[in-house]
């Protein structure tokens, strides 16, 4: 990892630290957005540090916490939303309606899956990351890393941001499989429609475009949420009262970012693929 000066610069040499020098909540103007962008860019350009054993260990632990441990609530959410969406749409439109599976593919695969999974990960992981890093600031652990010539961004931010992106992408695919299989199964059980025929029509309606949009959206959600969480934690103040402040800032900024990004994808879809559902 890169050598750092033996000086108390928290986070040492960090991109985010240049835009506030301390408490993330007191950044004004363009400082906070610029700090987030530069932190994300720095981490993307330093992904090669994941080859180092200790950094890779942090990455794998974060994937386990954010992805594997969140599979149960995601499965329950997928079953509930998939069953409700498929049965209600089938009742309203009819099993033979040509638009039924187009709408379900757009709703369950492109829209609901990335956003719902992101909300679950937001509640489970983003606040924890921000709190953990803020506590490290308070206890002086980040300054200690700098004195040991360990770049805090390489060791703390890069693996967490990469892990959230990977976990969100995998969890979104997991949600899609359960929502589709469970929803079609509920419709077959409750509405007496053919499961095999409905599955065939649904697969015909999906298309690679919807899967690609869903994957890209999940990756963007993961990268943005990881960046916001790390930025809030690394730039928290050095008093214990700043820890919950960093947690709240990370949560609210991520929630706002998710809505904004989802709207951007929706507007882009209307602008460039106006006939997507036809």
pLDDT of residue 18: 42
pLDDT of residue 276: 45
pLDDT of the chain along its 278 residues, tens only? 444 443 333 333 443 344 334 444 455 556 778 889 999 999 999 999 999 999 999 999 999 999 999 999 999 999 999 999 999 888 888 877 778 888 888 888 888 899 999 999 998 899 999 999 999 999 989 989 889 998 999 999 999 999 999 999 999 999 999 999 999 999 888 888 888 888 888 888 887 888 898 999 999 999 999 999 999 999 888 888 889 999 999 999 999 999 999 999 888 877 665 454 44
pLDDT of residue 19: 37
Three-state DSSP string of the chain: CCCCCCCCCCCCCCCHHHHCCCCHHHCCCCHHHHHHHHHHHHHHHCHHHHHCHHHHHHHHHHHHHHCHHHHHHHHHHHHHHHHHHHHHHHHHHCCCCCCHHHHHHHHHHHHHHHHHHHHHHHHHHHHHHHHHHHHHHHCCHHHHHHHCCCCHHHHHHHHHHHHHHHHHHHHHHHHHHHHHHHHHHHHHHHHCCCHHHHHHHHHHHHHHHHHHHHHHHHHHHHHHHHHHHHHHHHCCCCCCCHHHHHHHHHHHHHHHHHHHHHHHHHHHHHHHCCCCCC
pLDDT of residue 11: 39
Are the C-beta atoms of residues 240 and 136 closer than 8 Å to each other? no
Are the C-beta atoms of residues 236 and 24 closer than 8 Å to each other? yes
Are the C-beta atoms of residues 91 and 190 closer than 8 Å to each other? no
* CA distances to 21, 57, 150 from 3, in Å: 20, 21, 7
Whole-structure pTM value: 0.84
| Tokens read off for 262 | 């989802």
């Amino acid at each position: 990892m890169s050598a750092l000066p033996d000086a108390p610069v928290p986070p040492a040499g960090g991109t985010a630290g240049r835009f506030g020098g301390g408490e993330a909540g007191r950044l004004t103007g363009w400082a906070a957005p610029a700090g987030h962008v530069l932190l994300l860019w720095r981490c993307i350009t330093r992904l090669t540090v994941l080859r180092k054993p200790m950094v890779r260990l942090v990455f794998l632990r974060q994937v386990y916490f954010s992805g594997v441990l969140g599979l149960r609530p995601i499965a329950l959410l997928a079953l509930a939303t998939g069953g409700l969406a498929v049965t209600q749409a089938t009742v309203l439109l009819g099993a033979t309606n040509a638009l039924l599976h187009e709408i379900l593919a757009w709703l369950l695969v492109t829209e609901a899956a990335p956003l719902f999974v992101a909300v679950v990960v937001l509640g489970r992981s983003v606040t924890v990351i921000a709190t953990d890093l803020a506590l490290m600031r308070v206890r002086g652990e980040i300054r200690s890393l700098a004195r040991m010539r360990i770049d805090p961004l390489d060791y703390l931010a890069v693996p967490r941001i990469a892990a959230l992106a990977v976990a969100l992408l995998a969890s979104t695919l997991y949600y899609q499989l359960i929502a589709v299989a469970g929803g079609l199964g509920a419709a077959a059980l409750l509405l007496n429609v053919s499961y095999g025929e409905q599955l065939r029509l649904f697969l015909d309606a999906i298309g690679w475009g919807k899967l690609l949009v869903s994957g890209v959206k999940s990756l963007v959600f993961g990268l943005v949420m990881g960046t916001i969480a790390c930025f809030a934690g690394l730039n928290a103040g050095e008093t214990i009262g700043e820890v919950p402040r960093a947690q709240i800032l990370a949560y609210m900024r991520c929630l706002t970012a998710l809505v904004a990004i989802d709207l951007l994808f929706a507007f882009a879809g209307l602008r460039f693929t106006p006939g997507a559902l036809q």
